[in-house]
C-alpha cells in the first residue's frame, strides 16, 4: 500500500485537519464529531442541507459544503457510514429554524443512521427534518451494503440543484419535492479497471485480473453486473450508456451529464470517454445541456469511471447554473 498517510487509522481525522487548514476561511470543521459545516452556520430562516457518508469519495461530501450547496457534511470512516451522533451534531449546528433536509445515498447503514439521527434531532430540538434517498445506480438491484439500488453520482446533482433552491429561500417541503424530482430523473452506471485499497485494510478491496474490468461496480468496490476483458473506450461507453438509457427515457428533455473519475483515471482519459458518451447520446436523441467531467464521487485511487445522467427541466438548469461557492464546485461567486 503506497499512500500519503501518517497512521492509517487516523486518515479521516488527519485529512479533516488539512481541510480545515485549507478552507477555514469558509467552513468550520468539528474534529471531534467529524463534520464540516459552512462558516456562517446556522443561517436563520434557510432550509439547511446535510449530507454525508463514508470517507474516501472526496470531494463528495465535505468538498460540497458552502454557499449554494450543502450546509454540512458528516464524514464517516473510510467506506463506513457516519454514526447517528455525528449526524445529530451536524444537524444541530446548521439548523436555522426552517428545517433540515438530509440527503442520503442508499446504503443500508447510511439510511439507518440518518433516520436515527433525525429522530434524535426531532426529540431534542424539535427540528423539522425531511430526507431524500438517492438510489440512482442501475447496475444491480441489491448489493453488498445495500438493499435496493445504490446511490452515486446523482447525489452531486441533488446537492447542487436543491442547494440553490434552499439558498433562494424555498421551504422544506419544496426542497424535498425538488430533491425527489432530481432523484427520479437520475441514473448512473460505473466501471472499474483497478481496485482501491482502504488504508486500514492495507490490501486491495477487489481482486481484478490484469486484463479484467468490473462493469457496474459500486463505489466501495461492490460487485457489479459482470466481469469481462478490458475493452476500448468506445465499448466501455456503450456498456455505461445503454443500461442508463434502457432504464429511463432521456429524450426530449435537457440532460445534465457527469462523466466521473473514480480517482485513479487521468482527466486525459475521462475526456476520451466523454467523446464516446456524447456521440452515443447524440445518436440516441438525448440533448446534453450541461456537463461535468472530472473526479466528483471517487473511490480512493480506483481507476475507472461512472456516467450519471439527470433528466432536467428549465428550472433545474437555472438552479444548476446558480452561484455556488464550495471547495469542490465553484462558479458565479
- Contacts with a second copy, residue ranges (CB under 8 A): 2-7, 11-12, 14-19, 21-22, 55-56, 58-59, 63, 78, 193-194, 210, 213, 230, 232-234, 236, 259, 263-276, 278-279, 291, 293, 295, 298, 300-301, 303, 305, 325, 327, 330-333
Q: Could you tell me which of 187, 184, 79 has the C-alpha nearest to residue 132?
A: 184
Residue 19 CB, nearest distance to a second copy (Å)?
Answer: 5
Q: Which is nearer to a second copy, 14 or 168 (CB)?
A: 14
Catalytic residue among 23, 57, 61, 102: 57
Most distant pair of Cα atoms in the chain: their distance: 55
Catalytic residue among 23, 61, 102, 220: 220
Q: Which is nearer to a second copy, 172 or 278 (CB)?
A: 278
332: β partners: none
Q: Which is nearer to a second copy, 99 or 263 (CB)?
A: 263
Task: Establish whether 23 is a catalytic residue.
Answer: no
Q: Which is nearer to a second copy, 88 or 240 (CB)?
A: 240
| Grid cell in block for residue 180 | 425527489
Residue 210 CB, nearest distance to a second copy (Å)?
Answer: 8
Residue 209 CB, nearest distance to a second copy (Å)?
Answer: 10
Residue 300 CB, nearest distance to a second copy (Å)?
Answer: 5
Q: Which is nearer to a second copy, 24 or 252 (CB)?
A: 24
Residue 239 CB, nearest distance to a second copy (Å)?
Answer: 12
Task: Establish whether 57 is a catalytic residue.
Answer: yes
- Contact present, 290 and 183 (Cβ < 8 Å): no
What is the 3 state secondary structure string of the chain?
Answer: CCCCCCCHHHHHHHHHHHHHHHHCCCEEEECCCCEEEECCCCCCCCCEEEEEEEECCCCCCHHHECECCECEEEEEEECCCCCHHHHHHHHHHHCCCCCEEEEEECCHHHHHHHHHHHHHHHHHHCCCEEEEEECCECCCCCECCECCCCCCCHHHHHHHHHHHHHHCCCCHHHHHHHHHHHHHCEEEEEEECCCCECCCCCCECCCCCCCEEEECCCCCCCCCCEEEECCCHHHHHHHHHHHHHHHCCCCCCCEEEEEEECECCCHHHHHHHHHHHHHHHHHCCCCEEEEEEECCCCCCCECEEEEEEEECCHHHHHHHHCCEECCCCEECC
Q: Which is nearer to a second copy, 5 or 147 (CB)?
A: 5
Residue 8 CB, nearest distance to a second copy (Å)?
Answer: 10
Catalytic annotation, residues: 57, 220
Amino acid at each position: 500500500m503506497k499512500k500519503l498517510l501518517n497512521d492509517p487509522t487516523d486518515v479521516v481525522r488527519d485529512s479533516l485537519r488539512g481541510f480545515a487548514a485549507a478552507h477555514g476561511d469558509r467552513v468550520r470543521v468539528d474534529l471531534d464529531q467529524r463534520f464540516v459545516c459552512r462558516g456562517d452556520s446556522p443561517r436563520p430562516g434557510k432550509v439547511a442541507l446535510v449530507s454525508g457518508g463514508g470517507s474516501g469519495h472526496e470531494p463528495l461530501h465535505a468538498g460540497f459544503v458552502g454557499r449554494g450547496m450543502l450546509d454540512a457534511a458528516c464524514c464517516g470512516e473510510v467506506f463506513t457510514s457516519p454514526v447517528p451522533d455525528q449526524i445529530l451534531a451536524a444537524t444541530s449546528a446548521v439548523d436555522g429554524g426552517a428545517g433540515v433536509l438530509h440527503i442520503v445515498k442508499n446504503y443500508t447503514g447510511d439510511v439507518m443512521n440518518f433516520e436515527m439521527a433525525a429522530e434524535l434531532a426531532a426529540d431534542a430540538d424539535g427540528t423539522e427534518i425531511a430526507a431524500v434517498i438517492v438510489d440512482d445506480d442501475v447496475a444491480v438491484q441489491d448489493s453488498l451494503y445495500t438493499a435496493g439500488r445504490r446511490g452515486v453520482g446523482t447525489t452531486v446533482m441533488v446537492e447542487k440543484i436543491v442547494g440553490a433552491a434552499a439558498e433562494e429561500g424555498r421551504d422544506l417541503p419544496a426542497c424535498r419535492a425538488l430533491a425527489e424530482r432530481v432523484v427520479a430523473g437520475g441514473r448512473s452506471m460505473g466501471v472499474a479497471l483497478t481496485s482501491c485499497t482502504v488504508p486500514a485494510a492495507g490490501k486491495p478491496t477487489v481482486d481484478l485480473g490484469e486484463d479484467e474490468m468490473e462493469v457496474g461496480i459500486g463505489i466501495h468496490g461492490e460487485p457489479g453486473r459482470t466481469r469481462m476483458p478490458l475493452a476500448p473506450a468506445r465499448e466501455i461507453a456503450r456498456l455505461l450508456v445503454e443500461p442508463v438509457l434502457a432504464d429511463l427515457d432521456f429524450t426530449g428533455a435537457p440532460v445534465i451529464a457527469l462523466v466521473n473519475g473514480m480517482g485513479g483515471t487521468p482527466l486525459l482519459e475521462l475526456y476520451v470517454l466523454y467523446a464516446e458518451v456524447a456521440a452515443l447520446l447524440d445518436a440516441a436523441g438525448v440533448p446534453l445541456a450541461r456537463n461535468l467531467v472530472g473526479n466528483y464521487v471517487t473511490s480512493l485511487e480506483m481507476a475507472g469511471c461512472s456516467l450519471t445522467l439527470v433528466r432536467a427541466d428549465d428550472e433545474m438548469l437555472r438552479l444548476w447554473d446558480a452561484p455556488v461557492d464550495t471547495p469542490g464546485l465553484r462558479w458565479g461567486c
